[in-house]
Structure 1
C-alpha cells in the first residue's frame, strides 16, 4: 500500500511525468549540461591525460556542485506544494477522510514529488562519465558524489513536505523550505570544495557519515508529517482562512511581531482604525493590511529568525574579519531577496483568479495603473524591508572599521543601490509572471526560473571561462554579460586599495563602467516590464483607460 498500490503515488506520477513540461525540462537540462561539457572539453587532436588532471577534477566538481545547488532549488518547488496544494484546492479533508494511512500519503507525496528530479539527476550520469577519461577523478568519487546528491534530495524533499503540511499556503511553505535548506547547501558546498584535494576522505564522509545523518533527519520529518496528518489540527480549513493576529501573538513562541512599533510596522503596518482617505490606493490598502497577513505571521517570524541566524557568521567573516570580501555577503543578501520577493508578488493576480474575484476587481472604477502599483508596492514593501534587515551590518561595518574601509562610502552607497534595483526587478518580474500565469504555483516556478537564468547563468559562464577553459579573448564579452547579474555586479564595484589589494593581486579589479551598465540595463528592463504589465491589464482583460 505504501508504494505498489498507492493511489496518491500513482495519481501524482501520472500527472507530473506525463506533462509536456517534464519532457521539455529534461531536454533543456541535458542540452545545457552537454554544452558545458562541449565548451570545457579539450579541443586538441592529442590530449595528455597525465599533464594536468586538475582540470577534469574541477570540471566534475563544477558539474556536481551545480546539480547540488539546482537540486536544492528544485526539490522544494516539487514538494512544498504537495499538501498545502490540497488545502488551497479544498481537497485536504477529502484526502484525510480516505482509507489511506498517513504514512501512505506521506510516502506517496514524497516519492511523486522527487521522482522527476531524480530522473534529471540520473540522466546526467552519461555526460559526467565523458569527463572521466581526462583523469584526475575516479569513478568511485563520481558514484559517491551522486549517492550524497540523492540522499540530499531526499532530505530537501522531506523538509519541503513538512513545511507543506505545516502551512496553509504553498508560497509560505516554499520560502520557509528555502531558508531552512539554504544553510545546508552552503555548508555542503564548503565541505565539498574544502576537501577537494582529499578525495578519499571526502568520499568516506559523503558515503559513510552523511547518508545516515540525512536519512535519520528525513525519517523524523516524515514521521512528524504523518503524525500531523493522523491528528490534524487544521481540519476545517475554510474556517481557518483568516488568523486572528492578536490571538496568535499571545501563543507565539520566540519573536513576536508588534505591528504598532518600529521596525515591525515597516513591513507589517497596524490595522487601520479610521476610514480610508480619498487619495489612498484601495488595492494597496487591502493587500498590506489584510491579504499578506491573513494567514498569520508565523512565516514572517521564521523568515526573519532563520535569515538573521545565518547572516551572523557571514557578516562577521565577510564584513569585519576580511572586509575585502564584502561582496560575498552582498551575494547572500541578494539570494535572500531572490527567494523572498516572488513569494509576496507572484500571487498578486493569480490569487484573484483562484478566489474568482478577478472579475470583481476589473469591474471597479480603479484604473490599471492603480491596480498595478497597489499590487507591486504591497509585495515589494514587505520583501524589501526584510532584505534591509540584512543590509544594516554594511553601515555598521563602514562606521566601525573606518581605518580599513577608508573612503569607500561611495562603494557602500552603490551596494545599497544594487540591492534596491535588484529587489525592484525581482518583485516586478514575479508580478509579470503572476499576470501571465493562471496559478500561483506556476507563477512562483516561472519567477524562480527566470531569476535563476538571469542571475546564475552569467556566474556559471564566468567560472567556466576563468577556471576550465582558456577564454582570454572572450573575457571582455563575459564581463559585459556578467554585469547584467547583480551577483557579479557587486564584485565590479571598485574599493580602495587599502582593503582591495588582496583582490587586486588576484586579478579581480573593479570597474565603474560595468556597475553603471548593470544599473542602466536593469532600470531599462524594469521600465519595459512595467509597460508590459500595464498593457496586459489594459488590453488583455478589456481594461481601457478612462
Structure 2
C-alpha cells in the first residue's frame, strides 16, 4: 500500500527545489517586500491627522484588499513560470526517456511534476499569513474571508499549474509552452472580462447567462465578490441572474484541472513515441 502511494518524482523534485538557496532567497525577498509595504502603509495611515494616530477598521480592510490583490497577481503570473517547463524541460535536457523507463506511471509523473512545481508558490502564500495577522489586530476583516480567499487562491494555482503542465506535455519547446500558458491566464483575465461586458451590453438590460458565466470565471471578479459581497450583487443586477459566483468558479476550475491532468497523462508517452 505504501509503495502504491509513494511518488518518487514528487519527492525528488521537492528536494531539488527546496534544497536550492535560490528558493529561500526568493521567499526572503518576497516577504521583505511585503513587510515593507505593510509597514509603510500603516505608517502613512497613522500619520494622517484625521486618523488620530491609529488605524481604523476601514483602513485595515483597505490594507487587506491590497494584500489580497498582490497575492492574486502572484498566483496568476508566477504559476505559469513554475509549471510551463515541467515536462518540456525534461525533453530538452533529454532526460524524459529515462524518466519514462522507470516503474512510475504517467499519472504519477504528471502529478509529481504538478505538485512539486506549485509547492513553492503555496509556500509563499502560506508564509505571508503572519502579515495578514497584522490586519486582524485592527479589525475590519473576518477569518472566514481569509480562509475563503486562500482556498480559491489554492484552487486557481492548481488549475493554472495543470494548464502549464498540459502545455508543457503537448509542446516540445519550453518557451512556447510558457507563452501558451501565459496566454491562457490572459484569456481568463482580460478576454472573459471583455466578453462579460460585451454580452451584458448585448442583452440590453435583459437576463444574460453568457455575461454572468464569463464574469464568474474571472479570478478578479471572484476576488472582488469575496472581498465585498456588494460587488457580487452588482453583477446580479447587471445580468439579472442570481447564480452563485463562487460555485460557478469552483466547478469551472475543477473541470479545467481534471481535463488538463487527463490530457497530460494521455499525451505524455504518445508524444515521446512521435518524437523518436
Q: Which TM-score tier does this pair reach, normalised by the shorter chain?
A: 0.7 to 0.9
For structure 1, list consecutive stretches of 5 or more residues without a partner in the other structure. 240-546
Q: Which residue of 1 aligns with 2:58?
A: 54
Runs (4+) of structure 1 moved beyond 6 Å?
A: none
Q: Partners of 1:141 and 1:54 in 2: how far apart?
A: 15
Cα distance between partner residues in 1 of 2:221 and 2:249? 14
Q: Does 1:121 align with 2:134?
A: no
Aligned twin of 2:265: 226
C-alpha displacement at 1:43, in angstroms? 3.0
SS of residue paired to 1:130: helix
TM-score by length of 2: 0.76
Q: CA deviation at 1:155?
A: 0.6
8 Å CA contact 2:85, 2:178 repeated in 1: yes
TM-score, normalising length: structure 1: 0.40
* RMSD of aligned residue pairs (Cα, Å): 2.6
Give the distance between the partners of 2:4 and 2:144, measured in 1 at CA: 30
Quote the Cα distance in structure 1 between the aligned partners of 2:174 and 2:18: 21
Are residue 214 (structure 1) and residue 214 (structure 2) matched? no
The 1:188–1:235 alpha-carbon spacing in structure 2 relative to 1, beyond 3 Å, is same
Q: Supply the distance in 2 between the matched residues of 1:32 and 1:205 (Cα, whole angstroms).
A: 35
Q: How many angstroms does 1:209 deviate by? A: 4.2
Q: How does 1:251-266 map to 2 (within 5 A)?
A: none
Map of 2:71 onto structure 1: 67
**Alpha-carbon deviation of 1:201?**
5.5
Which of 1 and 2 has greater Rg? 1
More helix by share: 2
Q: CA deviation at 1:236?
A: 5.8
Unaligned runs of 5+ in 2: 191-217, 234-242
Aligned to 2:208: none
Q: 2:220 aligns with which of 169, 181, 189?
A: 189
Per-residue deviation at 1:3? 8.5
Name the SS of the counterpart of 2:103 in structure 1.
Answer: coil
Tell whether the 8 Å contact from 2:84 to 2:174 is kept in structure 1 after alignment.
yes
- Cα deviation 1:446-501 (Å, max 9, x = unaligned): xxxxxxxxxxxxxxxxxxxxxxxxxxxxxxxxxxxxxxxxxxxxxxxxxxxxxxxx
| Among 76, 100, 107, the residue aligned to 1:96 | 100
Query: Structure 1 pair 234/164, CA: closer, same or farther in 2 (3 Å)?
Result: same
Q: CA deviation at 1:81?
A: 0.7
Q: Which residue of 1 aligns with 2:39?
A: 38
8 Å contact kept, 1:93–1:235: no
Structure showing greater relative contact order (alpha-carbon pairs closer than 8 Å, 6 or more residues apart): 2
The answer as to 2:13 corresponding to 1:12 is yes
